[in-house]
Structures are given as structure tokens and as C-alpha cells.
Structure 1
Amino acid sequence: MGEVINDFTVITGATRGLGHELATQMAAEGLPLCLIGRSTARLAPILDTASGQIIVAEADLARPQDILEIFPRALPKGARIGCLINNAGCFSETEETTFLQLHHDLQVEISMVNGFAVAALTHAAHPFLTTGSLIVNVLSDMAFPRHWEGTYPHYCAAKAYALAFTVNAAPALHREGIRMIGVDPGWMRTDMGGPDAPDDPAEVASAIRRMISKRMELTPGSIYHALSGVKTAPI
């Protein structure tokens, strides 16, 4: 299997947090990128300084139809996806104390964006993937039962869905020469993680980029801690 280095890297949730850091760093390398977000105006500074081809696509990953349409609409004819980074996420602090009063629309959004969208985007991207392509699913500490504390039930359940999908979809993809892994980014200082989080999203983005550069060494279906690079048990 050869490395895929000239095809597009797709980053979801590219307008903020870890996704924005990944987009900024990869754009500085001149990599061809497809950046997906709800409000793409935030990507203007990246576009102004990038040296490689960048496609910006607006999509709401809580809407299945947006997911179905995104790649045929955004990618040029004949384009391939060398790396798909399923990074988009959403979170609600109100879920911790008032989840029984959580509005239905927010329940659906949390479940879709953090969970089902990972699977749906994998299916939607499949026609554009090729031998050597890599799918990176950005998870969370809260995907793992050992971190469940009786809070954020919708978010934990959605991230656990993404974790289970990563482990169980990887073998079929690997038979086609496509690797899928999960990455636990840790607790980062983002608008979701808050200012007291210990990890710098720029450092986490750099660590994920190093993983991607060594994709052929990654074990399909495995979950890696971003900063340490160590595989972690999916339980």
C-alpha cells in the first residue's frame, strides 16, 4: 500500500478548536484541503495565507442530507480523499444538570454530530477513498466507560457510538486497503473544553499530524491517545 500524499485531506469541524488548528497547520504545509463547517467565514484567515488548494464547504452534520451531498458537491471531479478527519463535535453544559429538560432538537444535534455523523461521513466518503487512505475519528475521554460519572448522557452515548463504530468498521475498511483509527485528544483548551483544560489544541493538532505522517504504522481499529501516541483499550 502506498502513501496517499497528493489527495485531499478532509477536516470536519474546521472552523474552531482542534479542527481549526489542524486546518491552520496543514494549510501552512500547502496540503490540498477540504474544510467543512457550519460557518465558513471563520476560515478566511487560513485561506488568505494558504499556499495549497483549499476547498471550503458549509454543512450541518446534524442533517443527514447535508452529509450525503457534501463530497459530490465540494470535491472536484476525479478527486480522492487521502485522509478524512472526523473531528466535528458539539456539547451542551446544560445537559449535565437538566438533561431531562434538554430540547429535542439539541438531543438530536448532540447525538448526530458526535456519533452518527462519523458513520454517515465514512459511508459518504467511501467512493472517494483509495488504497492507503486514512480515516481518523476524533473521540473523547467521555467515550470510554471508565470515564462515565453519571453526567452528559447524550454526549457520552454519542461518543461511545463513534468509538464502537471505529473498532468494528475498521476490519472491513482495512480489507480495501483503508485504515480507520480513533484518537482521544484529551481535555483541550477550546470553547468546548474551557479555559482550565490542561492540553493545548495546537500541540494536539501537531501530534495528530505526526500520526497521519506515519499512517502505515497505525493499527486499524485501534484508539490512540493523541499526545502520547500510546494505544488505549476501548473500554
Structure 2
Amino acid sequence: MMTTKRALVTGGNRGIGFAIAQGLLAKGYDIILTSRSLNSAKQAAQKLNGNVIPLELDVSDDRSMEQAVQNLKSQGINHLDVLVNNAGVYPDSNVNMLTISRELLDSAMNTNTFGVIRMVQAVLPLLEAADKARVINVSSGMGALDGLTTTAPSYCLSKLALNGATIMLAQSLRSKGIVVNAMCPGWVRTDMGGASAPRTPEQGADTAIWLATEASDQENGKFWRDRNEINF
């Protein structure tokens, strides 16, 4: 009997996360769709046609993570084939590198970087229980060394650190047969990207879906855009 393929998408209630969940659902995966608000997760799940479990999860809060994992276990979920770390924040409104506060720096790093590391730690037993699990971190070209900008300091630094964490997680999990990659969705029309962005959420989601389902498992610890490797 074939085991159900299961994917968890953080921040899956809208934008790129929702498009990733939709794409993986179309590929035959059961989806665990998380949002900081259970109501938002439920509303998003109702828009998707398939087996979707809505889950309240705040990646900046360890207790929320632990509760979410316990919730999954209580529902008999014993493995996870794909983890998409999509949840993120962009707190850099009207600040630059010379004016940003420690509070905003903390906010971006806590969610965009530390939240991803802690998320992998939290669901590691579920990833280990799957056959060749995959982790995809939604990063940004603004976190690449040649893409840093002084007008989005906390976001850029958090994604730069996320790219470093991707390399370190890939190294740490290689012996367990778990593949970890980062991807840049490009500038996408979302609440974060704004209405003038040139790409649809579906275009932004494509590389994450490909990494989760089709890419060779030899591709590990790398950074991708439009299914092509790019420099960290």
C-alpha cells in the first residue's frame, strides 16, 4: 500500500504560500496549511479542492510550534515528505540601514531565519519518518550577496542569514537523506510585493513546487530561481 505524500506549507493562507499549497495539492499531496490565525488557515483550506488540514502556527513562537506538532501527532500524522518554509515578514517600512531599530531587526530575524531553523527542528521526527524528505526555504534575491539593499535592511539581512542556514541545514541533514534548498520567487504580486510586481503568485510558487516534487535529490544546499541555480 502506497503511503500518502504529505506537505506542510507555513504561511499558506495567502500569496505565494497559498499558490505552493495549491500546486502541491494538484501533484497529489495532502496539505497541512498553516497560518498564525486558525480562522485564516480554515478559510484558505476551504478554497482548495482536496485533502487540506488547516493548522494554527506562528513560526516566531516556539510554544506555538510545539503545540502545532502535538496537534498533528494527535491526528495520526506520522510523517512529512515536504516542508515549505514560506512564512515571512517585511518590517522595513520607511527605514534604512542607518535608522532601523533593534526591534525591527529582531522581528525579521526571529521569523524569517530563526523561525525556519526552529521549524525544521520541530518537525524533524516527521521528516525522518518519510522516504527522502525535502525542505524548501522561500528566500529572496535580496538576501543574495549581490542583491543586498540598504533600504530593506532587516529583510535583506534575515534572508542572507536564511541562505546561510539553508547551507548548514543541508549539511546537517544530508546523512538522514533529507534535502534542503532555498529559492527566490522573484517579485510577486502579493500583500508583501505590492500590486505593481510583475509576477503572479503561481509563477513565484513554481520553483518551490519543482524542488518539492521533481528536482533531483542530488541538488542539495543550493539557491534557485526559475528552476536554475543562482549564487547565494
Alignment TM-score, normalising by the size of structure 1: 0.86
SS in 1 for 2:149: coil
Q: 2:82 corresponds to which residue?
A: 83
- Aligned equivalents of 2:206, 2:157: Cα separation in 1: 28
- Please state how far the C-alpha of 1:217 moved relative to its aligned partner: 4.3
Distance 1:5 1:224 in 2: 29
1:156-186 residue CA offsets vs partner (Å, 9 max, x unmatched): 1111111001012202211111100111111
Instruction: Give yes or no for contact 1:12–1:37 (8 Å, CA) kept in 2.
Output: yes
Unaligned runs of 5+ in 1: none
73-82 or 136-145: bigger deviation: 73-82
Q: Any runs of at least 4 consecutive aligned residues in structure 1 with deviations exceeding 4 A, and if so which? A: none
The letter for the 2-side match of 1:160 is L
Distance 1:171 1:140, change over 3 A: same
Whether the 8 Å contact between 2:83 and 2:134 is mirrored in structure 1 is yes
Using a 3 Å threshold, how does the CA distance of structure 1 residues 196 and 63 change in structure 2: closer, same or farther?
A: same
Q: How does 1:80-229 map to 2 (within 5 A)?
A: 80-97=79-96, 100=99, 102=101, 104=103, 106-129=104-127, 130-225=130-225, 227=226, 229=227
Amino acid at match of 2:133: S
Separation of aligned partners in 1, 2:100 and 2:160: 22
**Percent identity over the alignment?**
24
What 5-or-longer segments of structure 2 have no aligned partner? none
Check whether the contact 2:60–2:110 (CA below 8 A) recurs between aligned residues: yes
Q: Where does residue 58 of structure 2 map in the other structure?
A: 60
1:59 alignment partner AA: L
| Distance in 2, Cα, partners of 1:147 & 1:108 | 21
**Contact preservation (8 Å) 1:94, 1:102:** no
Query: How far did residue 206 of structure 1 move?
Result: 3.2
Q: Are 2:228 and 1:230 aligned?
A: yes
How many residues are aligned here? Answer: 227
Q: Structure 1 counterpart of 2:23, which letter?
A: Q
Query: Contact 2:38–2:54 (CA<8 Å) still a contact in 1?
Result: yes
Alignment of 1:22-33 (within 5 A): 22-33=20-31
RMSD: 2.3
Identify if the C-alpha distance between structure 1 residues 218 and 224 changes in structure 2 by more than 3 Å, giving closer, same or farther.
farther
Mapped to 2, the partners of 1:24 and 1:144 lie a distance apart of 28
Amino acid at match of 1:211: L
Distance 1:230 1:25, change over 3 A: closer
What is the DSSP-based 3-state SS (H/G/I as helix, E as strand, rest coil) of the residue aligned with 2:88? coil
